[in-house]
Amino acid sequence: MRSYSKARIFSRLYKSVSPAYSRERRSKHKRGGIGGDSILESVPGFNSTSSEHVISNKHNAYIVLGRDRTGSRLTGYGGRGDTHCASIDMVAGRLGYLSTAQTEDGRKIFVDPNFKTDAARIYLSQKTDIDASFGLAKGSFPEAKTRSAVALKADGVRIIAREGIKLVTGVDAKTAHGSKVTKRAYGINLIAGNDDTDLQPIPKGSNLAEALVEIVEHVERVTGVLDSFLMSQIKFNTALGVHVHISPFFGIPTAPSILAGGASAMSNIEKLALVKSSLMAEKYNLVNVKVNYLTPVGKNYINSLNNYSN
């Protein structure tokens, strides 16, 4: 009996069942786009300009080397005829879910860059108005106008590092166009929902922890003062409950007041049972607050052990 290696047997078996080895099935296979093969898709054309070098494929992916352009040919600094506004526009999925190749009456569709509907984009420009182009909230510092810029937009943006990520501002004294940076460091705005109506500064964690520790210590001292007052009041109540007066009859002391003695005893019991125990509990709680929230060993330490901001 003729012997075959395992690899040869597998190869013959694969060829007998795989559509990749059938001419007719291979054609269908390609039309289905399986395995990275081409697939028929309804994608729009692109309105390019004479200054743009376009790299594209049949599946709506583009790299456009040109001049600043944020929409039609008349948009951006390239549209108004400025120099020094080179741009690189990387787009996957023009028009996004609205993508189509032709109108209802069969006319081919050609589109311009659309920073709102295009599915995913990385845009680099030597000179542009990046905030206005993407419709971004102003935040706490001026909009970036006539500035070099890099923007990333997609349904989900992930910046991944195997070691660390730094978001750094204010590194140079001048912009890419030579104008002076008017503020030493604009800072970093984290704006969820593109809504800056309630934008607030981020506290410095170590300073905040120190402030809270100091507040807790002040509360502890106030608690100690109240505890001292409580013990003094108990002593006074005790003395008041057993005090006597000197009668006019030969200076004989009178008997203690029955009402004052009873009230004094009840007051002392209530203070010891309620106030004293509450003060002790609060002292214990304050210690727990400091340990759990304001020290690095605490379970709910308020500062991140990994992330920092200035």
pLDDT given for residue 111 in this prediction:
97
Q: What is the DSSP letter of 87?
A: E
Of residues 64 and 262, more confidently modeled: 64
How large is the average pLDDT for residues 176-181?
88
pLDDT given for residue 164 in this prediction:
92
Rounded CA separation 175/147 (Å): 7
pLDDT given for residue 228 in this prediction:
67
Angle between helices 205-242 and 258-270 (to 10 degrees): 160
Q: Which of 130, 126, 125, 152 is nearest to 143 (CA)?
A: 130
**Domain boundaries defined on the chain:** 45-194, 205-294
Q: 3-state class of 174 per DSSP?
A: strand
Whether pLDDT at 175 is above 70: yes
Alpha helices in 98-179 (DSSP H): 130-134
Range scoring the smallest mean pLDDT among 49-53, 129-133, 135-139, 199-203: 199-203
The mean predicted confidence, pLDDT, of the chain is 82
Residue 148's contacts (CB-CB under 8 Å, 6 or more residues apart) are: 125, 126, 127, 128, 175, 176, 177
Yes or no: say if 132 and 146 are a contact pair by the CB < 8 Å rule: no
Query: What is the percent of the chain with per-residue pLDDT over 90, rounded to a whole number?
Result: 43
Range scoring the smallest mean pLDDT among 96-105, 109-118, 147-156, 177-186: 177-186
pLDDT given for residue 237 in this prediction:
62
Range scoring the smallest mean pLDDT among 76-80, 139-143, 179-183: 179-183
Structure token pair of residue 75: 């948009």
pLDDT given for residue 306 in this prediction:
83
pLDDT digits (tens, 9 = 90+) for 111-170: 999 999 999 999 999 999 999 999 999 998 888 999 999 999 999 999 999 999 999 888
Predicted confidence band at 201 (pLDDT cuts at 50, 70, 90)?
Answer: confident
pLDDT given for residue 179 in this prediction:
87
Q: Which of 120, 121, 141 is nearest to 131 (CA)?
A: 141
Q: 3-state class of 36 per DSSP?
A: helix
pLDDT digits (tens, 9 = 90+) for 247-292: 666 556 655 555 555 556 566 566 565 667 777 778 888 888 889 9
